[in-house]
Structure 1
Amino acid sequence: MKILLAVDGSSYTKKMLAYLAAHPEFLVDATSITAFTVQPALPPRARAALGKTQADAFHAEEAAKVLDPVIRFLKRKGFNKPAAGWKVGQAGETIAKFAETGKFDLIIMGSHGNSALRNLVMGSVATKVLANCKVPVLLVR
């Protein structure tokens, strides 16, 4: 089973990792696990002022801050070859596209569990992943 862990470094990611620690069958049954994060794009003026090289370095640095602890967690749990990836864009749509193009069997992500009304007004990454993806999603609240 190919598992995609959608992570953002928040307390919801930590809850999802705690869930995985309590349910090691997800790690045992996995043939591959990829931790994936999406970085929001810099405003055009900021990107122009920094230049492509500096902007790309900034995004890579921010992604590493999110991904490195997750990779360390997976290795501590005995999964020795976790992969990591990141992209810049809108989180929900980017996660869904990455999951489908990567032919993942399952997406696992943390969610804050907003009410349906709040999701309608504000939206949420989890809602957008569910709306844009055919890959099964396990949401941990």
Structure 2
Amino acid sequence: MSDIVLATDGSSYSLAAAKFITQGLLTEGAKVHVLHVSPVLPAHVTRFVDKASIDGWYAEEAARVLDPTTQVLRDAGVPFESHALVGFAPQQIVEYAKKINARMIVMGAQGRGMLMDAVIGSVAGRVLSLSACPVLLVKSPA
């Protein structure tokens, strides 16, 4: 129970969270599970596009998001593995953390403010409310 889940959306806030982890957050023998969750494509898209094209899009999207984040960890010599999932991001992040018995979830937070988050919601806020393990939000951009 010493591994950390780093949820990333490819933003500067996610890169800041990755950099924060490299500054001594990881315990010896632990690794970072870098996780990106793509949304499920709507039926009006999937109905007219073949599975291979959809799978290709998911793979490209995951690489676009995961590569910069994992590069931060690689450059710092931090052990990691990366994972790409599809679904509702808060639920997938929390379920993955539970599955690996993570010590914590780390993620960047844009910090739009309570009113905007109340109106449109936030992944970070939902992860906070759903997670049984600690959640560390890194607000400053990279």
- TM-score, normalised on structure 1? 0.89
Q: Which residue is 1:91 aligned to?
A: 89
CA distance in 2, matches of 1:55, 1:10: 23
Amino acid at match of 1:38: V
1:119 partnered with 2:109: no
CA apart distance, 1:100 = 1.1
Q: 1:111 to 1:30 in 2, by over 3 A?
A: farther
Q: Secondary structure at the match of 1:41?
A: coil
CA contact (8 A) 1:3 1:30 kept: no
CA distance in 2, matches of 1:131, 1:118: 17
Q: Which residue is 1:68 aligned to?
A: 67
Q: Secondary structure at the match of 1:27?
A: coil
CA contact (8 A) 1:6 1:37 kept: yes
User: Runs ≥4 in structure 1, deviation > 3 angstroms?
Assistant: 27-30
CA contact (8 A) 2:8 2:14 kept: yes
Q: Secondary structure at the match of 2:26?
A: helix
CA apart distance, 1:90 = 1.5
CA apart distance, 1:117 = 2.4
CA distance in 1, matches of 2:83, 2:47: 25
Q: Which residue is 1:2 aligned to?
A: 3
| Bigger share in helix | 1
CA distance in 2, matches of 1:43, 1:110: 26
CA apart distance, 1:28 = 4.9
CA apart distance, 1:45 = 2.0
Q: Which residue is 2:14 aligned to?
A: 13
TM-superposition CA deviations, 1:42-65 (whole Å, max 9, x none): 121211211222211210110011
- TM-score, normalised on structure 2? 0.88
Amino acid at match of 1:69: P
How well do the aligned residues superpose, as a CA RMSD in angstroms? 1.6
CA contact (8 A) 1:34 1:83 kept: yes
Unmatched tracts of structure 1, length 5 or more = none
CA distance in 2, matches of 1:20, 1:83: 14
Identity across the alignment (%): 35
